[in-house]
């Protein structure tokens, strides 16, 4: 299974490498007000991917913070209930069955 996973990773790498080699042509990206950016197509695609990932993370950050605060509040509310439980040093009170010996 480990070798199959390495083979899959190698196939993905070589596919992306071949894509990069086949798309070295200069591409012009036209911005607003007549501004332009000339770069190889691979860099344009990579920049678009990075900008998409960054915008996705920035959009999700408030929700992640809100969930983290909710989890902390729930853990703080559950902490007093845990103090009534048996201490961690206490031995378990399970019966040993004859067939387990």
Query: Domains of the chain: which residue ranges?
Result: 25-62
Q: How far is CA 65 from CA 9, 55, 72, in A?
A: 33, 16, 11
CA 39 to chain centre: 29
18-67 confidence digits (pLDDT tens):
988 888 889 898 989 999 999 998 889 889 999 999 999 999 999 999 99
CB 47 within 8 A of CB 29: no
Looking at residue 84, its pLDDT comes to: 59
Q: Is the pLDDT of residue 8 over 90?
A: yes
Q: What is the DSSP string of 59-100?
A: HHHHHHHHHHHHHHHHHHHHHHHHTTSPPTTSPP-PPPPGGG
Q: pTM of the predicted model, to two decimals?
A: 0.57
């Amino acid at each position: 299974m480990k070798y199959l996973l390495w083979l899959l990773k190698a196939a993905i790498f070589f596919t992306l490498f071949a894509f990069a080699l086949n798309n070295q042509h200069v591409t012009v990206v036209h911005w607003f007000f007549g501004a332009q950016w000339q770069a190889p197509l691979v860099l344009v695609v990579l920049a678009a991917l990075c900008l998409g990932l960054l915008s996705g993370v920035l959009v999700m950050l408030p929700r992640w913070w809100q969930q983290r605060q909710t989890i902390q509040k729930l853990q703080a509310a559950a902490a007093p209930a845990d103090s009534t439980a048996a201490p961690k040093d206490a031995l378990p009170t399970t019966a040993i069955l004859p067939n387990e010996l």
